Structure 1
Amino acid sequence: MKLLRHGPVGQERPGLVDAEGIIRDLSSIVADIDPTAVTPEGLASIAAVDPATLPAMAADTRLGPCVGRPGKFICIGLNFADHAAESNMPIPEEPVVFMKATSALSGPNDPIIKPRGSTKLDWEVELAFVVGKECRYVDEAEAAAAIAGYCVCNDVSERAFQMQSSQWDKGKGCDSFGPLGPWLVTADEVGDTSDLHMWLEVNGHRYQDGSTQTMIFKPAFILAYLSRFFSLQPGDVVTTGTPPGVGLGQNPQVWLNEGDRVSLGIAGLGEQHQIVVSA
């Protein structure tokens, strides 16, 4: 299933995409695509519905972040061997973990807000997953079974903020720095995530053109690893790193500015399209 949230900011309603690509409203079935809906029981209740019986929505309806009210927004850095190389950093021996503020979440096509004082605004196409079961000291097999689904994330980054005193969170959690969606695609539909094509363009120029094939730590390993340090709950979002081609890695370096257009996507998970605006 391809699940989504549609409607004005702060008033999003649950929905899904049917086999013909039509957005169907799920408000009569679940209150939201949220921590309750992404559990095995919640997903089963949605799967039991005939999409043809649900109201159709306009194709141009705004899409919000594909999961609502996650408790945590966890990120993994330097998780692609070729991205670590372009960053002139060694391949990590264990996952590099940092957090984004949940207030950074935005819709897949909402504007990227350039913060005041920003001088090095950057992009990162990433594969994210949403947790569907509580996880605490789980092994990889249990972790794989606990992933509700996958989605596209743009891990927007302000490198000057990030590198200042090596405080990554300052440059990762600004408002609009976590576009998520367009859809949450359930794990059973995605299947194998070991070789998904990932791409990102700025103003029509393709900077990132990679694959999850070069990912160092795979999603199930990441979830099992994280569960050693804190519990994870349904609805938590984990984004898993980016392939090479970020602005930081260009020679000369390239940064986003007001008016720039960013497009990105992952095979089977949809696309995002954003315009950079000033705060």
Structure 2
Amino acid sequence: MKIVNYRLHQPFATDRVGIIVENKVIDMASASQQQLPVSPSDFFAMGQPAIEKAKEIATNNQHLQASYAFDRSQVTLGPPVPDPKKIICVGTNYADHVAEMGSELPQYPVLFSKFSNALIGPEDAIHKSTATGQLDYEVELALVIGKKASSVKKEQATSYIAGYTIGNDISARDLQKRTPQWLQGKSLDHTTPIGPWVVTADEVKQPGQLDIRSYVNGEERQSSNTRHFIFDIPSLISFISDLITLEPGDIILTGTPDGVGLAMDPPQFLQTGDKVRLEIEQIGEMEHHIVTKP
């Protein structure tokens, strides 16, 4: 099942949670007779009960003929979780990426955070701020947490995942590297696409075996597989939940493979007018243009 955040093409429309069925978007609040919330963030905050109710709706074809089923052409998709409580990112989680960045293999997962001001949807443009001259791309598998997780054992870790989506951990390398802390280069306004939807965990049987790629202006830049994680998904959830209680709707970005612009010879950073496409097996693809920040 594909869960989306959508907005109708009409005045005063607001973000609403829906599911994709046969290329239509079904509104969850209407289809559930208001048992499910309107807000995508509220939907994920409900955790697994909301997802189970949505699955019931997805299997009922009668909803496809209802007034609350919209063609894709009628809506714009936003970030599936537009205002998560936490966005936790994992750095240096592919050995080849560690090597190309001239770093050492980490003994523990490298964690940093983003804020929701950075999030954009699968149909938005990435803003290039004049504060940076080194904007870089990073395709990543992202997890959405489905239930409260604290001190989770590795063996149970995947049961805490609501679903999977694609993230682009856009990084301003000059800002990231000018201090020991990375935050200022990782959370610029309107720079982190998430989407195009959340694919529920039951449909991604082996998240540790997914092909992952990025392209800039049609040129393949990154091509790897999540089997090359240094710290696999159960290890990450267990490690993070020992330190930080994870809540439904929290997002974890799991790291990027080698092939980033900074590591090219010479470095190739994103410029206004560039087009970036991301692909992850079993999830989908996103494509974004780079525009100068208004």
* Category of TM-score, reference length = shorter chain: over 0.9
Q: Which residue of 1 aligns with 2:63?
A: 53
- The separation in 2 between residues aligned to 1:68 and 1:161, in whole angstroms, is 25
Query: Larger helix proportion, structure 1 or 2?
Result: 2
Counterparts in 2 of 1:160 and 1:141: CA distance versus 1, 3 Å: same
Which amino acid is 1:97 matched to?
Answer: L
Counterparts in 2 of 1:10 and 1:211: CA distance versus 1, 3 Å: farther
Q: Which residue of 1 aligns with 2:27?
A: 25
- The separation in 2 between residues aligned to 1:15 and 1:84, in whole angstroms, is 38
RMSD, aligned α-carbons: 1.6
- The separation in 2 between residues aligned to 1:122 and 1:109, in whole angstroms, is 19
Q: Pick the aligned partner of 1:134 from 145, 148, 152.
A: 148
Secondary structure at the residue paired with 1:242?
A: coil
Q: Pick the aligned partner of 1:226 from 237, 240, 260.
A: 240
Q: Which residue of 2 aligns with 1:44?
A: 52
TM-score between the two structures when normalised by the length of structure 1: 0.95
Measured against aligned partners, the alpha-carbon deviations of 1:188-229 in whole angstroms (never above 9, x if no partner) come to 011111211111111111101111111111112111101111
Q: Which residue of 2 aligns with 1:257?
A: 271
Structure 1 contact 157–172 (Cα < 8 Å) conserved: yes
Which amino acid is 2:69 matched to?
Answer: A
The 5-angstrom pairing of residues 1-279 of structure 1 reads: 1-7=1-7, 11-18=14-21, 20-28=22-30, 29=32, 30=36, 31-37=38-44, 39-49=47-57, 50-54=60-64, 55-60=68-73, 61-279=75-293
State which drifts further: 129-138 or 28-37. 28-37
Structure 2 contact 77–196 (Cα < 8 Å) conserved: yes
Measured against aligned partners, the alpha-carbon deviations of 1:217-250 in whole angstroms (never above 9, x if no partner) come to 1112111101111111100000000111110111
Cα deviation for residue 138 of structure 1 reads: 1.2
- The separation in 1 between residues aligned to 2:173 and 2:219, in whole angstroms, is 21
Measured against aligned partners, the alpha-carbon deviations of 1:105-156 in whole angstroms (never above 9, x if no partner) come to 1101211001122110000000000111111111112321111100000111
Structure 2 contact 79–122 (Cα < 8 Å) conserved: yes
- The separation in 1 between residues aligned to 2:61 and 2:105, in whole angstroms, is 45
Which amino acid is 1:237 matched to?
Answer: I
State which drifts further: 181-190 or 48-57. 48-57
Number of equivalenced pairs = 278
- The separation in 1 between residues aligned to 2:179 and 2:226, in whole angstroms, is 30
- The separation in 1 between residues aligned to 2:119 and 2:243, in whole angstroms, is 24
Cα deviation for residue 85 of structure 1 reads: 1.1
Secondary structure at the residue paired with 1:245?
A: coil
Measured against aligned partners, the alpha-carbon deviations of 1:15-58 in whole angstroms (never above 9, x if no partner) come to 1111x333322231322332544611111111111254153323
Larger Rg: 2
Secondary structure at the residue paired with 2:268?
A: coil
Which amino acid is 2:17 matched to?
Answer: P
- The separation in 2 between residues aligned to 1:90 and 1:84, in whole angstroms, is 6
State which drifts further: 188-197 or 20-29. 20-29
Q: Which runs of 5+ in 1 are unaligned?
A: none
Counterparts in 2 of 1:10 and 1:79: CA distance versus 1, 3 Å: farther
Cα deviation for residue 86 of structure 1 reads: 1.1
Cα deviation for residue 68 of structure 1 reads: 3.2
Q: Which runs of 5+ in 2 are unaligned?
A: none
Runs of 4+ in 1 over 4 A off after TM superposition: none
